[in-house]
Amino acid sequence: MRGSDYAELMAFMAIAQERSFRKAARRLGMSPSALSHGMRALEERIGARLLHRTTRSVSVTEAGQALLERLGPAVAEVDAAVRDVTAFQQQPRGLVRINLPRAAAQLVVMPRLAAFRAAYPEVRLDLAIDDAITDVIAKGFDAGIRSGAFVDRDMTAVPLTPPTRMAVVGTAACLAERPVPRRPADLTGFPCLTYRWLASGAAHPWRFEGSEGPIDVAVESVLTVNDTDMLLSAALQGIGLAYLAEPLVTPHLKSGALVRVLKNWCKPVAGFSLYFPGRRHMPAALRAFIDFMKVPRA
């Protein structure tokens, strides 16, 4: 159905309900002559007279009454559908699909999840744990969470955490096997645990910052995985040194289970950001999630 067809049917309903071209025209915000022209076009198109008109009154024909009875429920259903969509834009409810790495789930979302659910009980979350650099829009997600360094420039990004640092960690026993590294080059010969993105096959670089700028070190990997939990677990077992986000290892540094080296060589890097295509016509549920998770929060 063309847009003009729908408009003509709505005009017919207004005339039938008002029993007056003038009143219907006022209700629709158009002139009586334009309304009359539209009705003639509708009757010509469907090949039936829908209205009896005199200079004093308007009534519905038998064909018009049959059409009116079919149109009423259909229009009510359309109106209800529009109201439901509008409600999604105004009241936080419905499903929000987020693609995020495991570290972001552990450090950003899970600590606030219970409070978010209490504040917005009608919002359902679908969290897809994915450490790859995924095209979240192509995969049907509402938004993604990544380190700010990996967010495309054509996306709108909202910071969720302040800048953080990477940390080189291992058990005391692992570090006792050789002299404690004082500079990145001293990592040579240490067994290391590395991360590799599954989709691209690229390894996460061990990047440090010196007086002359960034330094990437090619470490000797004894275990390569695509899961940060496995890296942390392997480091805690003394299998090798791991290069992980500082917040992930902080509890284990405090307990003494892990020891950190090269701290002064690890400079702040971009924290996690939530990113999405744009703010126009954003569902209320996604807006609520963004506002609740973003930093700083009062």
For position 249, which CATH number holds?
3.40.190.10
CB atoms within 10 A of CB 179: 9
CB atoms within 10 A of CB 246: 17
Q: 50-59, 192-201, 222-231 — which is least confidently predicted?
A: 50-59
Q: Does residue 73 sit in the same domain as residue 102?
A: no
Domain boundary among 62, 90, 118: 90
pLDDT of residue 281: 67
Q: Does residue 200 sit in the same domain as residue 233?
A: yes
Residue 91 has pLDDT above 70, yes or no: yes
Q: Does residue 278 sit in the same domain as residue 141?
A: yes
Q: What sign does the dihedral 30-32-34-36 (CA atoms) show?
A: positive
What is the pLDDT confidence band of residue 81, given thresholds at 50, 70 and 90? Answer: low
Residue 16 has pLDDT above 70, yes or no: yes
pLDDT of residue 297: 47
Residue 79 has pLDDT above 90, yes or no: no
DSSP labels, 67-92 = HHHHHHHHHHHHHHHHHHHHHHHHS-
Residue 298 lies in a domain: no
DSSP assignment letter at 263 = G
Q: Does residue 229 sit in the same domain as residue 259?
A: yes
Q: Does residue 234 sit in the same domain as residue 214?
A: yes
pLDDT of residue 259: 97
Assess contact for 190 and 240: CB atoms under 8 A.
yes
Q: 102-116, 161-175, 282-296 — which is least confidently predicted?
A: 282-296
Tokens of 2: 């063309």
Residue 2 has pLDDT above 70, yes or no: no
Q: Does residue 102 sit in the same domain as residue 82?
A: no
Average pLDDT, integer, range 257-273: 93
pLDDT in tens, 194-228: 998 877 788 888 999 988 788 999 999 999 998 89
Average pLDDT, integer, range 182-202: 89
- Residue 203 in 3-state DSSP? strand
Q: Does residue 81 sit in the same domain as residue 107?
A: no
Q: Does residue 16 sit in the same domain as residue 157?
A: no
Q: Does residue 21 sit in the same domain as residue 99?
A: no
What is the pLDDT confidence band of residue 30, given thresholds at 50, 70 and 90? Answer: confident
Residue 137 lies in a domain: yes
Domain boundary among 74, 90, 106: 90
Residue 26 lies in a domain: yes
Q: Does residue 109 sit in the same domain as residue 172?
A: no
The C-alpha atoms of residue 81 and residue 67 are separated, in whole angstroms, by 21
Average pLDDT, integer, range 4-21: 82
Residue 104 lies in a domain: yes
Assess contact for 136 and 144: CB atoms under 8 A.
yes
pLDDT of residue 3: 45
pLDDT of residue 86: 56
Nearest to 110, CA basis, from 91, 132, 95, 129: 129
Q: Which domain holds residue 17?
A: 3-90
Average pLDDT, integer, range 246-262: 96
The C-alpha atoms of residue 285 and residue 60 are separated, in whole angstroms, by 45
pLDDT of residue 68: 82
Number of separate helices (H) and strands (E) present in the chain: 10, 14
Q: Does residue 246 sit in the same domain as residue 200?
A: yes
pLDDT in tens, 105-164: 998 999 999 999 999 999 999 999 987 777 887 888 999 998 876 777 778 888 888 888
Q: Does residue 65 sit in the same domain as residue 102?
A: no
Q: For the chain, what is the domain count?
A: 3
Interhelix angle for 228-236 vs 246-255, to 10°? 20
Which residue has better confidence, 185 or 53? Answer: 185
pLDDT of residue 224: 95
